[in-house]
Every structure is written in structure tokens, then in C-alpha cells.
Amino acid sequence: VGNSADFDSEVDSICPFCGVGCQVSLKVKDGKIKYVEGINGPANEGRLCVKGRFGFDYIHHPHRLTKPLIRRKDAPPKGLNVDPGNWQTHFREATWDEALDFAAGGMKKIGGAGVAGFGSAKCTNEEAYLFQKIIRQGFGHNNVDHCTRLCHASSVAALMENVGSGAVTATFNQIENADVAIVIGANPTENHPVAATFFKQFAKRGGKLIVMDPRGQALKRHASHMLQFRPGTDVSMLNAIMHVIVEEKLYDQQYIEAFTENWEIEKAHLKTFTPEKMSKICGIDAAVLRDVARTFAGANAAMIFWGMGISQHIHGTDNSRCLISLALMTGQIGRPGAGLHPLRGQNNVQGASDAGLIPMFLPDYQPVSDDGVRSAFTEVWQSSDFSDKKGLTVTEIMDAVHDGDIRSLYVLGENPAMSDPDVEHARAALAKLDHLVVQDIFLTETANFADVILPASAFAEKSGTVTNTNRQVQMGRPAVPPPGDAKEDWWIEVELAKRLGLGWTYTDPSEVFAEMKLNMSSLNNITWNRLESEGAVTYPSTSPTDPGQAIVFADGFPRQDGRARFTPASIIAPDDAPDEDYPMILTTGRQLEHWHTGSMTRRSYVLDGLEPEANCSLHPSTLRKLGVEPGAYIRLTTKRGSIELMAREDRAVSPDMVFLPFAYVEAAANILTNPAVDPYGKIPEFKFSAVKVEAATAP
Ligand code: SF4
């Protein structure tokens, strides 16, 4: 922490990494961010993790894109083959006019359903809204998606189906009013570190913290119960817990009668899921399952938090259905300290989804199939109708490229050449495209395949709102200008739309926000001016002075008759089960120091210094069996491919598992992952692949 002599100016903004949405003060000296402090935002109350505090220097990295680039006519064939320090053999610099004309011209030439878009949860709400509008208004269909498809799409599918809303029912800070909390399929100490500090304080003051995860983790030290269940057996374990609640009549009959439907069907469904039987599947003692059921059902106020350990399965929607049913049967929604909270990954994945950056919904989750909804939007957009059919998702778009149905792709801030499952399939699709427009701050792995690259802005270089996991809409403010000729993303979108003939005239993101409010009731009582002065407002906000509702659904649910629904879930085996050839289980995820595909954090001096090398974690007994020491190289092989990397010893990983972070291009985790998807959320099964592990030689 410095003092005012250490900086020329200070600007309040939002951390660009995870969905906690910590508010930060950016201290600027000589046109560069010198350091960052946490300030008193509603989610972080002054706290920051290592990424928020030390992970901002990527903004000033020499690899930043500063000029529009166009692929050279004599460039080598498209592939993952561009050296960011020596890109000139592949691309040439262009003016903005030339690059935008080239980008729009190519999209127009292919046109219609031949064009698709991947927007970004790294952008602001306004930029996400404009992106989906370009595809819908410009090309007449809904083939637009973003990384929510790889993250919480199955959670949203289950929440929409059963409680009528995809957002959290209570902020994570409500844990201070709870006496019991479940954290399942999430590792908040690494992935939502500031939220984890609130969870630890909850445990310290006597709250019962029930941690359920196939991997042991740091939160275990604070847990009253640690259930390290077998990977992929969530439904059996959760149904067994609910079986006990039914068997011992621990449910809240009054709540069930007042606020739910389908209870009798759920009750009957749970009959066969006895803890004794399910224990053999999930590996947790029947007595422990019974104890957890009694502890949760006996709580005055209880919350359920979950992460991608729940959502990234072919049964991700079923996993979430179980958690929703557990909360409903015990009446743990709509009160202080009670609620459902899927911990959002990216800093603006909630906002980008709210803004309609998804193929089945317009902003505020209004279905594209609804004629009235579409006409409300086309009236505001002053444009003709667009398709009433759900568009293609992230992975379906890549399949459509291979099939030759999609030939042009506009990618803003996403990195499918690293983030898609079975990533060689995605890379081959990117290479096959006739016209790839990439808008980003770095020459990412995806930009390697681009025909034109549009240099964009980092979070600290632009204005705009973002919405965190708590439904808090917050104001991001620019502290430094973009480098060279790089531009704010909204400006690039507007200029592109003008060239597509869409007649856009926005001159400031505040005008976009004002337009969003016309068809987004979630933003009622939230104005640009309010956000400028208050910094954050939680939706829903009931009046121009209401800071917003931390807890929703006290008096019923936004479904047809105001009732939430029980949807029974059955056991579905993982798609890629271990066998003789691939005997172990591979699960992928993030590390504290690195963010997603690493494009930002691997260019941060401190963060990359802490975790500089691709690595995976195995149990000590597994390393012994392989005959290798910690730090040695091993080879991981699945039915999709093979990678070699350093092995780390970790007792938290069970002997039949490998944990593999996905931030490292030199050993890209998604070369190995399975593209099979959940049928409802269309989310890939990143958390379970059969894998063979062998000793290898260090390069
Ligand atoms: Fe940023 Fe998330 Fe860390 Fe907060 S917890 S500082 S939002 S990465």
C-alpha cells in the first residue's frame, strides 16, 4: 500500500478476473497502473486476492495488440503457429478503416446463417448486448453464444426450469446469516478467493460448513463435514441425502405446500436411493450421508454454493436439479442466510448472459421463440424480425463449421482454440473458416487463425457496467488509455455494425445501457447515473433509492403459478468411463494464480512467476506406482490426444484421479477433454474423462 505521493491519479473500477466482482482502486503513475487496492465494494468489503492485487500488469505487456492486423496473402497456412513477438510473417498492419471494411465485408459476403459469433464474459454488459444485437439484427438468427456454455449453462438450465430465474437467489455474503452451508463441486479458495474468506469466517464463528468434492481442498480445514465423493456420482449422493430427509420427515411441509409443485413425484422418486445403496456408488459412508441430511434439514438458515464440479458433466443439469430440490424441500430459499448460489466464473458471465449473449434467449432470458418478445426488440432496434429458432451453442457452432454450414466467425474476447473440449477439433474448425474476425487485447491462440484482428481494450481502459455473481451491477471506469491504436470494444462493434448497414449511432456506452433498460425489467430503477455515483446496485432494485435485493423469492417464484418445481434426477454414468486402456479419471479446472486460458495471467509478472510451468496433480501413491518423483514429466493420454507435463504430488487428489489446470498452451488440457455435452445446458463434460498416465522424459 502506497500513499498519494506514489501516484498521479486513482480510479475506482472492478477486478477483471472472477465473478466475485471485487471493487478496486487503480493507482496510476506516468500513464501506467502502479498498484491496486481493494475498496469497499458490496461483494469484497475491501478484500482482494492475489489476482486482483498483483495480476493487472498484463495491461502494459509488450504483446498488447496496438494496430489492426490483416492476414498476409502469402502467410503460412493457418494454424497455431504465430510467434507473438514475430507475427509479421502472418499479418500486416492496417488502418482501422481498412480492417473494419475487411471484417464487415467478409461477414456480409458470406451472410445469413453462414456467420456466427462468440462474445465474451470479459466484456461489459453494453458490449455483450451490442454483440448479440449485431448477430441477430445483422444476420437474422441466434447463432451467438459465449463461455457460459462451458461454465454454468447447466446450472442456468436447471434454475430456469425449476425456480424461473437463472441468477442466484441470495448473495454469497448472506452466509453471515446462515448456520449451515454446503459448498459442492467448487474450490472457492482458488477460484473465488474473496468469497472463500467469507466462508471461512462463517466456519470460524461456528457455522457448519459441509464441503463436498471429489478433490480434497483448502476449505476442508474449515469444514464440519468433508465428503470426498467419487467423481461423477453427485446425483447418487444428493439423492441419498434427500432420501433421508424424506424418510425421517425432516422436510418443511408448510413451505412445500405453499411454494412448490411436483413434490409427490420427487418423494416417490427418492424412495430407492437409500444411503446404504448409494454409499456403494458415491463412496461416502451411509452414516455420514444421514448426518449431513439431518444437519442441513435442521438448519435455521442454510445456503448451497456450487461450482463447475456440478455443472461440467453430461448430467450437470441433473446435479443442479438435486441441489434445487434439496433447498426447496427444506424451505431454504428466500430468507436471510438461505438460498441457492452457483458461484459464477468470469467477472461478467452473469451480465453477459443477462444481456442475451446466448442462443436461446434475448436479454433478460426472454425466449427467442416468443413472437411478442422478438417484436419488442425489433421495435427498439427499428429492424425486421429475426429467427424464432434457438441458435447454435459454442460447440455446435464448431461442428457447423466442420459441416461447412458456418464459414464466417466473429470472436470477441473468447479463446476457443484453448477453451473448447477436444480442442484439436475446434482448432481444425478455426483453420477451415473462410473468414475469422478476432477482437482481443492479445494475439491469442484463436487469433493465430484470424483473417483480421481488431485490437481492443482491457478492463482498466474502458467504461461500462459488469454484473457479478451476486447480481450486483457495477461500474467499471477507465484509468489509462488503450495502447497505440487499440479501441474500446463497444466502439469497434459500432463501427462494424455501421459497415454492416445496421445504422447504429451510439456515441457512448451509457446510450447502450439506456437502450438495454427498455426491454430488461431486471434493470428497473438502475440508471447509469446511479451506477456512476453509487458504484453498484443489486438487481432487482425496487425504487430509485433501493440498493437492491440481496435475497429474492421470499413470496414465491417467477414461474406461471408462482411455484418452484421439483424435477427428479436419475443416475447417468459419465460418457467416457475408465477401462483397461484408460484406467484413471481426468478432471480439469483452474489454479489460484491463473485465469482460464492464461492469456492475461501468463502475461502477469507476479502470477506467472508463481506458477510458470504446465503441471498436473496426482496422489503420491500414483506417482510411486509410475515410478516417478514429484516434478518429473508424465504423459497423459485420452481417446482425443496426448500431452506431456510436470507432475506434482498432491494428497488432495484421490489415487485414481489426475487434476489438470487448463491455462497452459504448451500442454493444453483440452486436447484431452471429452466433447460430450449435457442435453439441457449443452455444457461439455470437462470434469470427467478416462485417461492413461505414463512416465515421460522431460524435454
Ligand atoms: Fe478479483 Fe475474484 Fe480475486 Fe476478487 S476474488 S480480487 S474478483 S479474482
Closest-CA residue, ligand 1 atom 6, reads 52
**Quick one: which atom of ligand 1 is closest to the CA of 53?**
6
Q: Whose CA is nearest to atom 3 of ligand 1?
A: 49
Q: Residues enclosing ligand 1, CB less than 6 A? A: 15, 17-18, 20-22, 44, 48-49, 51-52, 192-194
- Residue 625: the pLDDT is 96
Residue 397 CA to residue 115 CA, distance in Å, equals: 10
- At residue 477's C-alpha, the angle toward residues 53 and 548, to 5°, is 90
Distance 531 CA to ligand 1 centre (A): 20
Closest by CA position to 23, among listed 56, 46, 7: 46
pLDDT: which is higher, 336 or 6: 336
* Ligand 1 atom closest to residue 17's alpha carbon, by position in its atom list: 8
Give the number of the atom of ligand 1 that is nearest the alpha carbon of residue 15. 1
Write down the residue that cell numbers 446463417 correspond to. Answer: 113
Measured from the CA of 21, which atom of ligand 1 is nearest?
7
Q: How many CB atoms lie within 10 A of CB 579?
A: 9
* 575-609 confidence digits (pLDDT tens): 999 999 999 999 999 999 999 999 999 999 999 99
Q: Does the pLDDT at position 1 exceed 90?
A: no
**Alpha-carbon torsion, ordered 495, 500, 505, 508, to 10 deg:** -40
Question: Across the chain, which distance is largest between two alpha carbons, in Å?
Answer: 73
* pLDDT tens sequence across 285-304: 999 999 999 999 999 999 99
Span 167-192, average pLDDT: 97
pLDDT reported for residue 5: 75
CA distance 347 to 442: 18
User: What are the tens digits of pLDDT across the range 218-255?
Assistant: 899 999 999 999 999 999 999 999 999 999 999 999 99
Q: Is the dihedral of CA 393, 439, 501, 134 positive or negative?
A: positive
pLDDT at 126 over 80: yes
How far is the centre of ligand 1, averaged over its atoms, from the C-alpha of 460 (Å)?
Answer: 15
Q: Which amino acid is at 276?
A: E
Nearest to 327, CA basis, from 338, 316, 317 = 338
Confidence of residue 85 (pLDDT cuts 50, 70, 90): confident
State the Cα–Cα distance between residues 33 and 27, nearest whole angstrom.
6
Residue type, 372: G
Q: What are phi and psi of 339, to 5 degrees?
A: 155, 175
Q: How far apart are CA 43 and CA 168, in angstroms?
A: 14
Give distance in angstroms: CA of 17 to centre of ligand 1.
6
pLDDT, mean over the chain? 96
pLDDT at position 84 is 77
Which residue's CA is minimally distant from atom 4 of ligand 1? 22
Query: Of the residues 13, 22, 173, which should be mutated to test ligand 1's pocket, given the most ligand atoms within 8 Å of the CB?
Result: 22
Residue partners of 699: CB distance under 8 A and separation at least 6: 633, 644
Q: Give CA–CA dist 135/517, Å, rounded.
A: 20
Residue 2: predicted pLDDT: 57
DSSP3 helix / strand / coil % (the chain, rounded to 5) = 35, 20, 45
Residue-wise pLDDT tens digits, 450-460: 999 999 999 99
The rounded Å distance from CA 238 to ligand 1 centre is: 30
| Residue to mutate (ligand 1; options 24, 58, 194, 459; most atoms within 8 A of CB) | 194
Burial code (b: 16+ CB inside 10 Å, e: under 16) for 302-338 equals: bbbbbbbbbbbbbbbbbbbbbbbbbbbbbbbbbbebb
pLDDT for res 622: 97
Can you tell me the mean pLDDT for 138-143? 97
- pLDDT of 553 above 80: yes
